[in-house]
A and B are shown apart, each in its own frame.
Chain A
Amino acid sequence: MTTRRDFLRGCLAGGAAAATAALPETAAARDTLQRPPEGLGLLYDATLCVGCQACVAACKRANDNPAEFTAMDKLWDTPLDTSGHTFNLIKMYRNGTMETKDSELNGFSFMKTSCMHCADPSCVSACPVSSMQKDPVTGVVSYDPDACIGCRYCVAACPFGIPKYQYDSPTGKIGKCELCRHRHEDGHYSACAEVCPTGATLFGRTEDLLAEAKRRLALKPGDWTTVPRGRLPAEGETPEAAAKWKGPVDQAYQAQVGNYLQHVYGETEYGGTQVLKLSAVNFQKVGLPDLPPKSSAATSETIQHTLYGGLVMPIAVLAGLTWVARRNVVPDDEEKGGQS
């Protein structure tokens, strides 16, 4: 039988041990991660998009995904949303008579739905194993099915609703855009950007894409400007660096400047994303959430890592529980009898 004094002494000792273990407690409060400097991404310009869905078809081909039918006739690939078998989709904002493109009232607008490749991805933060990972160089948020335990925390964590589980299979995987990283070795960049006829989807380093997006925002709507297509070469790119990628380099053409909202979506959202978006219609109306510059991954990891740092919280909770339990133990009659 421990005396009350013994117990309190034990608690104190435990607390001290925990405190020494949790010394780097301040490190648990982590800042929102930023984009890697060489990070790759896409720039989607809704005003250039013509809704041809060539990118949707190319994505299916590049990722070996089957068609998904939603209509009775089962003739066309018509997914209603991204899924375990659809990593990229063009969705449409519709309003009223749908007469004018890129108009919020009585108009329509297109929006690409695919992984944003966040600087500080919630899915990577939520993944209990090492299945979801962010490449330190390219910044591609990748998925490793061999490490996946199928918990689908990433599905719940993503603010854009991107990772999707293949519910149709007993050995389902998570399906999401990985920026065609499996094709990078062969010199092919993202299939969606590769096929895009108007350069609405552009591949490149996010840094360069951001500069290009800002250049477009600074132009006067309706003016003619040169718009690159396919891959945006890095500023001052050497021929050796350019040779890494296949396909014609200069596919630029003349296009009219869209009536942009003065905002590059993905510049600061959740610490920035590597896929950037331009639109003439309110971003929330085309399905992109209004996100603060601080990522939810940073917030949740700060809380969690503070609580669990050096096992402080578990020990404290266990100590408290033990104390409550000990206090409530009523001595048995036999024990009583033995003692008396």
Chain B
Amino acid sequence: MANQNLISLEQDERIEAAARRLSMDRREFLQFCAALAATLGLPQGADAAVAEAVAAKKRPSVIWLHFQECTGCTESLLRAEHPTLEKLILDVISLDYHETLFAAAGHQVEAARKTAMAENKGKYILVVEGAIPTRDGGVYCKIGGKTAIELVTECAADAAAVIAIGSCASWGGMPSTIPSIPGATSSPTGSSGVAQVLGKPVVTIPGCPPNPYNFLSTVVHFLTFGKLPEVDHLGRPKFAYSRLIHENCERRAHFDAGRFAMEFGDEGHRKGHCLYKLGCKGPETYANCSVILFGDAGAGTWPVACGHPCIGCTEQGVGFTKPIHTVAKLKNIEPSAFLPRIVEEKGVGATLGSAAVLAAVAGAAAGAGAMVAKNLGLSHQAEEMERAKKEGSKAAESTEV
């Protein structure tokens, strides 16, 4: 963490070497490190630390186990673009055991796993992909004659950190779905997540497949700071899973304005309106897809941007459980600051000055009224007296004349 300036690292030999190792130019390599730091939500300056760690530190040994899964998580990692992840998982980390990517097979590869575990005892990272069958002693998934339960327990014992990648490893995912057969209470093979089998919390990177950068950032965090990133109650790194997709969704303004796509291909759908009514699970799914997007094919390449509602693949109880077009339950019903109260106070109460002026006006009016009432009839009386006087004087005149 000594260096805080990413630009000054550009001339660093170690950076040069690391970039060459990853088949990138220096600038690209530094940009990649900055992007990772940003994904992790790290402060400015941490990008330099990330770059130094990736360039200089000994690559952590990674043992990657596959159980009940489709290899989609590995596939998504292989298709990440900056840099190509096959370089990264071979050069940033030391991938010592991975059933899909290994050239070796049989006893040879099992021996490699044992060697790596022995050499890096207490220091290696165990990554588990796929659910673990638990029914009937776990006989539904065996590798090298060992059940998934035995393998994961054996490998986790001396691991520095255990990362469950994908929804299957996180809680059981798709294989753990209970079939709609009367009386069924669990999946046919009793698929479970890693934490359930190990009986201790692990870091989970759910998703089907998860965003490769969330996994990568977790590993790089471990590499840079020597510990795993902060996680929530489900073991999900907070930098990636602390906010709902709905909160940062590019279609959110349409939700707020009540502009919804009602059917696939209708006017609202073509105009890019909110997919909530088509069953989008964004409002109940914690993930950063709406922020860092997905698939590396440029902007607008995550499911919602493509026009398909989110299926909630990162969320237990939503993905693979709720029908895709069932309406989501909004998890963030937060009172808006703009909503008026039931009774909204308007204006201000009477000030002393205005009250005094009003009182004065009222007093004057009352006084005037009283005077008018008092004088009522007086004018008539006066008129009568005047007339009487005139008549009197006339009479006097006539007598005089």
Contact = CB atoms under 8 A, between A and B. Distances in A.
Interface of A: 50-55, 57-58, 71, 76, 78-81, 89-94, 98, 101, 108, 110-111, 195-198, 229, 247-248, 251, 253-256, 285-287
Contacts of B343: 287
A81 B335 contact: no
A286 B255 CA distance: 25
Contacts of A92: 335-336, 339-342
A77 B395 CA distance: 84
A25 B262 CA distance: 57
A256 B326 CA distance: 13
B277 A256 contact: no
Contacts of B56: none
Interface in B267-298: 274, 276-277
B102 interface: no
B327 A198 contact: yes
Q: Is chain B's binding surface mostly helix, strand, loop or mixed?
A: loop
B340 A80 contact: yes
B326 to A, nearest CB: 6
A290 to B, nearest CB: 14
Contact of B327 (A55, A101, A253): A253
Nearest to A56: B258
Given A92-B342, A286-B342, A54 B333 contact: no
A285 B342 contact: yes
B335 A78 contact: no
Contacts of A80: 340, 344, 346
Contacts of A253: 326-327
Nearest to A93: B342
Task: Count chain A CB atoms within 10 A of each CB in B258, B260, B338 and give the residue with the most.
Answer: B258
A255 B342 contact: no
Interface string B89-105: 00000000000000000
A248 B262 contact: yes
Given A52-B255, A287-B343, 8 more contacts: A54-B258, A57-B258, A80-B346, A89-B340, A91-B342, A195-B260, A197-B276, A254-B326
Nearest to A227: B327
A137 to B, nearest CB: 29
Contact of A51 (B258, B260, B333): B333
B400 interface: no
B256 interface: yes
Contacts of B341: 91-94
A108 B257 CA distance: 22
A198 B274 CA distance: 13
B391 to A, nearest CB: 13
Given A51-B335, A101-B333, A91 B340 contact: yes
Contacts of B326: 253-254
A54 B257 contact: yes
A110 B341 CA distance: 9
B335 A52 contact: no
A247 B335 contact: no
Contacts of B378: none
Nearest to B344: A80
Contacts, number: 86
B342 A195 contact: no
Q: How large is the interface on B (under 10, 10 to 19, 20 to 34, 35 or more residues)?
A: 20 to 34
A63 to B, nearest CB: 14
A248 B263 contact: yes
B360 interface: no
Interface in B321-375: 326-327, 329-330, 333, 335-336, 338-344, 346
A197 B257 CA distance: 11
A44 B183 CA distance: 38
B258 A195 contact: yes
A155 to B, nearest CB: 15
Contacts of B336: 51, 53, 92
Nearest to B339: A92
B256 A54 contact: yes
A197 B338 contact: no
Given A80-B340, A253-B326, A197 B260 contact: yes
A91 B339 contact: yes
B392 to A, nearest CB: 15
A197 B255 contact: yes
A54 B255 contact: yes
Which 5 A-B residue pairs are closest in the complex by CB-CB distance?
A54-B258, A195-B258, A253-B327, A287-B342, A92-B339
A186 to B, nearest CB: 15
A48 to B, nearest CB: 10
Contacts of A54: 255-258
A90 B327 contact: no
Contacts of A50: 330, 333
Given A248-B263, A253-B327, A52 B339 contact: no
A80 B263 CA distance: 35
Contacts of A51: 333, 335-336, 339
Contacts of B274: 197
Nearest to B328: A253
Nearest to B335: A108
A52 B255 CA distance: 8
Contacts of A287: 342-343
A54 B255 CA distance: 7
Among the interface residues B256, B259, B276, B342, which one has the most CB atoms of the partner chain A within 10 A?
B342
A325 to B, nearest CB: 17
A91 B343 CA distance: 9
Nearest to A76: B338
A255 B329 contact: yes
B329 A256 contact: yes
Nearest to A196: B258
Given A50-B333, A197-B277, A255-B329, A79 B340 contact: yes
A268 B122 CA distance: 73
Contact of B342 (A53, A71, A111, A254): A111
Nearest to A102: B333
21 contacts: A50-B330, A50-B333, A51-B333, A53-B256, A53-B336, A57-B257, A71-B338, A78-B340, A81-B340, A81-B346, A91-B339, A91-B341, A92-B335, A92-B341, A92-B342, A195-B258, A195-B259, A197-B274, A197-B327, A255-B327, A255-B329
A328 B342 CA distance: 57
